[in-house]
Amino acid sequence: MNRQWLYAKQPQGKIAPDTFQWTETAIPAPREGEALVRTRMLSLDPANRAWMMGKTYRDALEPGQVMSGFAIGEVVESKSGGLKAGDIVEGDWGWQDYAAMPARRLTKRTIKAPFELLIGPLSITGLTAYFGLLNIGQPKPGDTVLVSAAAGAVGTMAGQIAKLAGCRVIGTAGGQDKCDWLVRDLGFDAAVDYKAGGVYRALKAVCPNGIDVYFDNTGGPVLDAALSLMNLRGRIVCCGNVSQYDVEKPAPGPVAVPGLVVTKRLRLEGFVVMDFFDQRAEAEAKLARWVEEGKIKAIVDIVDGLDKAPQALIGLFEGRNKGKMAIRI
Amino acid sequence: MNRQWLYAKQPQGKIAPDTFQWTETAIPAPREGEALVRTRMLSLDPANRAWMMGKTYRDALEPGQVMSGFAIGEVVESKSGGLKAGDIVEGDWGWQDYAAMPARRLTKRTIKAPFELLIGPLSITGLTAYFGLLNIGQPKPGDTVLVSAAAGAVGTMAGQIAKLAGCRVIGTAGGQDKCDWLVRDLGFDAAVDYKAGGVYRALKAVCPNGIDVYFDNTGGPVLDAALSLMNLRGRIVCCGNVSQYDVEKPAPGPVAVPGLVVTKRLRLEGFVVMDFFDQRAEAEAKLARWVEEGKIKAIVDIVDGLDKAPQALIGLFEGRNKGKMAIRI
pLDDT in tens, A30-51: 999 999 999 999 999 999 998 9
Exposure on the CB side of residue B122, measured as CA atoms within 13 A: 23
Q: Could you give the CA distance from residue A52 to residue A56 in angstroms, rounded to a whole number? A: 10
Question: Would you say B122 and B99 are in contact if contact means Cβ atoms under 8 Å apart?
Answer: no
**Does residue A282 sit within a domain?**
no
Q: How close, in Å, is residue B114 to chain A by CA atoms?
A: 30
Give the A-side interface with B, CB within 8 Å.
50, 56-57, 216, 219, 223, 236, 238-241, 244, 250-272, 275
Amino acid at A244: Q
CATH number, domain with residue B14: 3.90.180.10
Same domain, B211 and B146: yes
Contact A269 B266 (CB under 8 A): yes
Is pLDDT of A115 > 90?
yes
Nearest CA to B94 out of B301, B317, B315, B309 is that of: B309
pLDDT tens digits, B185-214: 999 999 999 999 999 999 999 999 999 999
Nearest to B265 among A257, A259, A275 (CB): A275
Is the bond leading into A254 cis (omega within 30 degrees of zero)? no
**Does residue A290 sit within a domain?**
no
Q: Is residue A110 classed exposed, middle or buried when 0-12, 13-18 and 19+ CB atoms within 10 A define those classes? A: exposed
- Candidates A268, A273, A277: best to mutate against B (most CBs of B within 10 A) is A268
Mean pLDDT of all residues in B145-157: 97
Nearest CA to B241 out of B229, B267, B257, B223 is that of: B223
pLDDT tens digits, B21-64: 999 999 999 999 999 999 999 999 999 998 998 888 889 999 99
**Does residue B245 sit within a domain?**
yes
Contact A262 B275 (CB under 8 A): no
Same domain, B23 and B152: no
Q: How close, in Å, is residue B75 to chain A by CA atoms?
A: 31
Mean pLDDT of all residues in B146-170: 98
**Region class of B37: left (phi > 0), else alpha (psi between -120 and 50), else beta:** beta
Domain that holds residue A185: 124-274
Nearest CA to B303 out of B275, B329, B267, B268 is that of: B329
Nearest to B270 among A216, A219, A265 (CB): A265
Please state the ipTM of this predicted complex. Answer: 0.91
- Report the Cα A52 to chain-centroid distance in Å: 16
Which residues of chain A have a CB within 8 Å of the CB of B219?
Answer: 257-259
Q: How close, in Å, is residue B31 to chain A by CA atoms?
A: 33
The β-bridge relationship of strands A2-7 and A88-92 is: unpaired
Same domain, A98 and A154: no
Same domain, B168 and B266: yes
pLDDT tens digits, B240-293: 998 888 787 888 899 999 999 999 999 999 999 999 999 999 999 999 999 999
Q: Could you give the CA distance from residue B240 to residue B26 in angstroms, rounded to a whole number? A: 36
Question: Would you say B81 and B157 are in contact if contact means Cβ atoms under 8 Å apart?
Answer: no
Same domain, A203 and A86: no
**Does residue B141 sit within a domain?**
yes
Q: Could you give the CA distance from residue A279 to residue B283 in angstroms, rounded to a whole number? A: 36
Which residues are CB-neighbours of A187 under 8 A, at least 6 positions away? A159, A160, A163, A169
Mean pLDDT of chain A: 96
Q: Which residues pair with B41 in a beta bridge?
A: B72, B328
Which residues are CB-neighbours of B160 under 8 A, at least 6 positions away? B186, B187, B290, B295, B296, B297
**Does residue B281 sit within a domain?**
no
Q: How close, in Å, is residue B245 to chain A by CA atoms?
A: 9
Same domain, B108 and B137: no
Same domain, A93 and A50: yes
Give how far Cα A57 sits from Cα of A66, A119, B106, B260, B297, Å: 19, 21, 50, 10, 41
Give the B-side interface with A, CB within 8 Å.
50, 56-57, 216, 219, 223, 236, 238-241, 244, 250-272, 275
Q: Give me the pLDDT at residue B71, please.
A: 97
Is pLDDT of A178 > 90?
yes
Same domain, B267 and B159: yes
Which residues of chain B have a CB within 8 Å of the CB of A237?
Answer: none
**Does residue B279 sit within a domain?**
no
Is pLDDT of A297 > 90?
yes
List b or e across A276-297, with b for residues whose CB sees 16 or more CB atoms inside 10 angstroms: beeebeebbebbbebbeeeebb
**Does residue A279 sit within a domain?**
no
**Does residue A239 sit within a domain?**
yes
List b or e across B294-324, with b for residues whose CB sees 16 or more CB atoms inside 10 angstroms: eebbbbbbbbeebeebbebbbbbbebebbbb
Contact A241 B258 (CB under 8 A): yes
Which residues of chain B have a CB within 8 Å of the CB of A252?
Answer: 252-253, 255
Contact A241 B259 (CB under 8 A): yes
Same domain, B178 and B303: no
Q: Which residues pair with B230 in a beta bridge?
A: B211
Looking at the structure of chain A, the number of domains it has is 2
Contact A257 B268 (CB under 8 A): yes
Same domain, B114 and B223: no
Same domain, A138 and A53: no
Nearest to A258 among B256, B268, B272 (CB): B268
Question: Would you say B140 and B213 are in contact if contact means Cβ atoms under 8 Å apart?
Answer: no
Which residues of chain A have a CB within 8 Å of the CB of B240?
Answer: 258, 262
Same domain, A130 and A259: yes
Q: Could you give the CA distance from residue B262 to residue B284 in angstroms, rounded to a whole number? A: 36
